[in-house]
């Protein structure tokens, strides 16, 4: 009888290890057995899953850059993907686009160190790399998991790629830029404001006026929530 039970347990163990069920159970178990109570640890655990799933994009150097800023902020800024300079510096929104973002936030009295920064895709993708629909849907799943861990009240969504990942083809940046979108996930209601990515604004300076209108809209909403 003991031998039968042992064999059965080994089969169950193998099954868990060969499916995503195992990862789910480990995550649940770790919450209690290893006392993973901090928000940062949960986010880092999510990051480790993303790196494992998209390992093929991690080539010569570490292509993954995950988050920056304050974990306590109710404002989450989501861009498209890390720039080449972000990968070099291992920090989000660096270089000229980072300087522009800092100025944009400063114009409405926000400090980038006091908001939460991330990207819809957390690694650098070159033009020669192919992102298929399966990749996009998996990115969306992880992005939603990320949002649920941060629990922001407002998301400032920068770039057409970020908009597509989060909402599929439901919205278009050309027509929906500057319009508030209600995002409801697992009883969490979040206000999302799509706008231009700083890298886009550096290439199309004529759109900075529209970006400023969006920033003023963002400021009004933030002041209304205080």
Q: Where are the domains of the chain?
A: 58-225
The residue assigned the tokens 């292509």 is 63
Please name the residues in contact with 25: beta carbons below 8 A apart, sequence gap of 6 or more. Answer: 16
- CA–CA separation, 97 vs 198, rounded Å? 5
The residue assigned the tokens 């319009």 is 179
Q: Over range 191-200, report the average pLDDT.
A: 98
CATH tag, 58-225: 3.40.470.10
Tens-digit pLDDT profile for residues 83-134:
999 999 999 999 999 999 999 999 999 999 999 999 999 988 875 566 788 9
Tens-digit pLDDT profile for residues 9-61:
444 333 333 334 334 333 344 443 343 358 889 999 999 999 888 888 776 55
- CA–CA separation, 95 vs 84, rounded Å? 10
Q: Is 90 exposed, middle or buried (0-12, 13-18, 19+ CB in 10 A)?
A: middle
CA-closest candidate to residue 64, choices 97, 94, 92:
92
Bridge partners (DSSP) of residue 181 are 192
């Amino acid at each position: 009888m003991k031998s039968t039970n042992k064999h059965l347990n080994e089969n169950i163990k193998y099954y868990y290890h060969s499916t995503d069920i195992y990862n789910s159970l480990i995550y649940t178990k770790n919450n209690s057995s290893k006392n993973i109570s901090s928000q940062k640890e949960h986010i880092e655990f999510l990051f480790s899953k993303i790196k494992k799933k998209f390992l093929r994009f991690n080539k010569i150097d570490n292509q993954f850059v995950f988050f920056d800023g304050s974990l306590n902020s109710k404002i989450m800024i989501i861009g498209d993907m890390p720039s080449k300079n972000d990968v070099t510096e291992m920090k989000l929104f660096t270089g000229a686009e980072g300087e522009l973002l800092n100025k944009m936030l400063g114009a409405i009295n926000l400090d980038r160190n006091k908001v939460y920064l991330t990207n819809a895709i957390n690694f650098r993708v070159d033009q020669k790399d192919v992102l298929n629909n399966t990749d996009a849907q998996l990115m969306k799943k992880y992005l939603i998991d990320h949002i649920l861990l941060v629990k922001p009240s407002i998301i400032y969504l920068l770039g057409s790629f970020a908009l597509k990942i989060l909402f599929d083809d439901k919205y278009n940046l050309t027509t929906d830029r500057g319009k508030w979108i209600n995002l409801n996930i697992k009883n969490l209601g979040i206000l999302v404001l799509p706008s231009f990515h700083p890298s886009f604004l550096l290439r199309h300076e004529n759109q900075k006026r529209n970006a400023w209108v969006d920033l003023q809209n963002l400021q009004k909403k933030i002041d209304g929530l205080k």
